[in-house]
Amino acid sequence: MIDLCSLTAVELADLVRSGEASARAIAEAHLARAHAIDDRIGAFLRLTDQKALEMADAVDCKRARGEPPGALAGVPVGLKDLLSTKGLETTCGSRILEGYVPRYDATVIERLRAADAVFLGKTNMDEFAMGSSTENSAYQITRNPFDPTRIPGGSSGGSAAAVAARMVPIAIGTDTGGSIRQPASHCGVTGLKPTYGRVSRWGLVAFASSLDQIGPFSRTVRDAALVTSVIAGHDPRDSTSAPRGVPDLLAALGRDLGGLKIGVPREYFVEGMDPDVAHVVRAAIARLAELGAALCEVSLPHTEYALAVYYLVATAEASSNLSRYDGVRYGLRVPAASLDQMYARTRAAGFGPEVKRRIMLGTYALSAGYYDAYYGKAQKVRTLVCRDFDEVFGEVDAIVAPTSPTAAFRLGERVDDPLQMYLADVFTLPASLAGLPAISVPCGFVGAPALPIGLQIMGRQFDEPTVLRVADAFERAAPGARRSPEVLP
Amino acid sequence: MAERITKAEVVKVARLARLELTGEEIERFSTQLAAILDHVAMLERLDTRDVPPTAQAIRLEAPMREDEARPGLGRDDAAAPAPAWEEGCFAVPRIIAGDEK
């Protein structure tokens, strides 16, 4: 008897297409596992058993009718709770959207449905995707499947943990400053942030519109390529969606790295970096040379400014985007005598501390008298960060670096120090600012109990194929870098 | 070092952001925002006089489309999640002073 929960999306879809397993059996197996273990992890905010089984049955019926099932036929998928999903409560991890049921599907949801994926439920996240530990969820914490005293990373911590714990082979996340790559690194799974504009944001609840991007979590690079090929592509409903075709992402896999030049930025191996993490990442990079890549040291001199740029740009955009939560059209309303009072009290009651802090910072950075000094300045320095990458990508085909400076930290360790929490994203922010595709793949472990470490691979804009090619070659060469969490059955 | 942000400024920003803050929140945000602003002050070290701003990294032109009517969400679907809905409108507290009791 095969353990359906240990299979990849590629394998599961093959079983469904060949008739060796039904979508229903696959959905039931994953739901059973999630119900059995998620009280110890907290990856899901809501498991939607009934909807999942309805979707699975529809896939099985389609096959019975002789219609060819889609690319993700019967593949169970976890959805970060900020993608508008028709008929399924969507909270963004916030009290202000508690009970909110969207009346339409995000483009990504439509495309997953069209590919015959099966939605198992909504995964936990930092409120409005603001955080690096998933501790800012208004509903629950999520524990790292490798060590339940530690954070899973964030903001897509529920999605990362659900995939690591084999509750689903695939989960969808979003990455604004590292929210796919950093939790992927901490949970020992693969997480891809596509190029800005590659995947439509229509129906995604906005945090920072010039940075937000949707991408997959998976346990293999091939699965990441498959899911990305399903969700990517131009969408006229998103004016920032890139009007260009998506190359065959699966064709990039299965190759060595001969002829590729890969840059190692010296600014990503700095003081403050955990030496054990640096050691594991250095060893992984050396492996890339064995696979045929030519390595060279490169410099991205404005790296140290990325955090400051990000926390001005992202909060400014967030303060504007989140102004829509005013108790008028949807979500929480706190009754008050005047409209102004209703706004202020609704938002005071509905938003958690980190969201308030970022709205405050963003509003300040945009306010009269400070706009040029903060927001305007940050946008200019963002140009310098982009130029660093432009220059280096004139010389190399990909850049490799640690995903995060440390392994997963302990629950509660950084909640009282926002700046320390923000530093968790210091290596993922630059690629976000420059709109680059970037992936985190498991590359080894540190400590006891062993905690996973991620290798980050960044590419030129719209060059997901090279990013996936390098990640896939590494994954095949280093099977020991992937492990299942020991604490779970 | 001069204070990066005063409590009075925090109160003003909270009003602009339509956030009712408690006294304790005002204290805490003053300290925390000051620490974050201290960090971002490092940007002042860079000369950016001739650097254009980046609003969005993939340098897209704003796309144009035909000005054609398309189906929208529809009134019933728009109304469904509303906290208060009366006579086909979102209902809110009175905003124009009138014959108040």
Q: What is the pLDDT of residues A69-123, one digit of tens each?
A: 999 999 999 999 999 999 999 999 999 999 999 999 999 999 999 999 999 999 9
**CB atoms near residue A237 (< 10 Å):** 12
Chain A residues touching residue B44 (CB < 8 angstroms): 377
**Does residue B80 have a pLDDT over 80?**
yes
The CA–CA distances, whole Å, from A221 to A16, A38, A249, A475 equal 21, 25, 10, 7
Surface of A (448-467) touching B: CB under 8 A = 461
Cα torsion A454, A7, A203, B78 to 10°: value is -140
Number of domains in chain B: 1
Q: How close, in Å, is residue A81 to chain B by CA atoms?
A: 17
What local confidence, expressed as pLDDT, does residue A421 receive?
86
Surface of A (247-276) touching B: CB under 8 A = none
The CA–CA distances, whole Å, from A473 to A183, A223, A468 equal 22, 14, 8
Size of interface A-B (CB pairs under 8 A): 170
| Structural domain contains residue B40 | yes
Instruction: Identify the three-state secondary structure at position A181.
Output: helix
Strand A170-175 relative to strand A76-80, pairing: parallel
- More confident position, B3 or A355: A355
In this prediction, residues A468-480 reach a mean pLDDT of 97
φ and ψ of B68, to 5 deg? -115, 145
**Does residue A308 have a pLDDT over 80?**
yes
User: Catalytic site residues of A?
Assistant: 80, 155, 179
Is the CB of A210 less than 8 angstroms away from the CB of B39?
no
Beta bridge partners of residue A445, listed in sequence order = A452
Helix, strand, coil shares of chain B as percentages rounded to 5? 40, 5, 60
What local confidence, expressed as pLDDT, does residue A202 receive?
98
Chain A residues touching residue B31 (CB < 8 angstroms): none
| Structural domain contains residue B79 | no
Query: ∠ at Cα A270 (A267, A275), nearest 5°?
Result: 135
Query: What is the reported pTM?
Result: 0.97
What local confidence, expressed as pLDDT, does residue B1 receive?
41
What local confidence, expressed as pLDDT, does residue B65 receive?
86
| Structural domain contains residue B73 | no
What local confidence, expressed as pLDDT, does residue B61 receive?
82
DSSP class of residue B6?
Answer: -
If pLDDT is split at 50, 70 and 90, which confidence band does B101 have?
very low
Closest CB to A338 among B32, B82, B93: B93
Return left, alpha or beta for A286; rule: phi > 0 is left, psi -120 to 50 is alpha, else beta.
alpha
DSSP class of residue A328?
Answer: S
**CB atoms near residue B63 (< 10 Å):** 12
What local confidence, expressed as pLDDT, does residue A1 receive?
67
Surface of A (227-246) touching B: CB under 8 A = 236, 239-240, 242-243
Pair of tokens at residue A342 = 């209703």
| Structural domain contains residue B50 | no
**Does residue A334 have a pLDDT over 70?**
yes
**Does residue A168 have a pLDDT over 60?**
yes
If pLDDT is split at 50, 70 and 90, which confidence band does B96 have?
confident
Q: What is the C-alpha to C-alpha distance for residues B18 and A345, in angstroms, rounded to an integer?
A: 8
What local confidence, expressed as pLDDT, does residue A61 receive?
98
Surface of A (377-416) touching B: CB under 8 A = 377-384, 386
What local confidence, expressed as pLDDT, does residue A167 receive?
98
Is the CB of B52 less than 8 angstroms away from the CB of A380?
yes
| Structural domain contains residue B54 | no
Instruction: Identify the three-state secondary structure at position A214.
Output: strand
Gyration radius (Cα) of chain B, Å? 23
Instruction: Give Cα A243 to chain centroid, integer Å.
Output: 23
Are A45 and A81 a contacting pair, CB within 8 Å? yes
Query: What is the chain A residue with the closest CA to B41?
Result: A308
If pLDDT is split at 50, 70 and 90, which confidence band does B28 have?
very high
**Does residue A424 have a pLDDT over 90?**
no
Q: What is the C-alpha to C-alpha distance for residues A481 and A453, in angstroms, rounded to an integer?
A: 9
Which class for A419: exposed (0-12), middle (13-18), buried (19 or more C-beta within 10 A)? middle
Mutate to test the interface with A, among B25, B54, B68 (most CBs of A within 10 A): B54
Beta bridge partners of residue A26, listed in sequence order = none
Q: What is the C-alpha to C-alpha distance for residues A34 and A165, in angstroms, rounded to an integer?
A: 9
| Structural domain contains residue B63 | no
A408: Cβ–Cβ under 8 A, 6 or more apart, which residues? Answer: A144, A146, A147, A150, A151, A152, A153, A186, A187, A451
If pLDDT is split at 50, 70 and 90, which confidence band does B33 have?
very high
Are A404 and A278 a contacting pair, CB within 8 Å? no
Q: What is the C-alpha to C-alpha distance for residues B82 and B73, in angstroms, rounded to an integer?
A: 14
Pair of tokens at residue B101 = 């009791």
In this prediction, residues A10-25 reach a mean pLDDT of 97
* Residues of the domain holding B32: 7-44
Q: How close, in Å, is residue B2 to chain A by CA atoms?
A: 16
Closest CA to A256 of A223, A298, A218, A287: A287
Q: What is the CATH number of the domain that holds B25?
A: 1.10.20
What local confidence, expressed as pLDDT, does residue B98 receive?
65
Give the pLDDT confidence of A363-417 residue by residue, as tens digits: 999 998 999 999 999 999 999 999 999 999 999 999 999 999 999 999 999 988 8
Instruction: Identify the three-state secondary structure at position A429.
Output: helix
| Structural domain contains residue B24 | yes
Are A252 and A381 a contacting pair, CB within 8 Å? no
Q: Please state, rounded to an integer, the average pLDDT across all residues of chain A.
A: 96
| Structural domain contains residue B96 | no
Residue type, A49: D
- More confident position, B100 or A329: A329
What local confidence, expressed as pLDDT, does residue B9 receive?
94
**Does residue A272 have a pLDDT over 80?**
no
Which class for A336: exposed (0-12), middle (13-18), buried (19 or more C-beta within 10 A)? middle
Closest CB to B92 among A242, A342, A436: A342
Give the pLDDT confidence of A190-215 residue by residue, as tens digits: 999 999 999 999 999 999 999 999 99
Q: What is the C-alpha to C-alpha distance for residues A119 and A231, in angstroms, rounded to an integer?
A: 15
Q: Please state, rounded to an integer, the average pLDDT across all residues of chain B.
A: 90
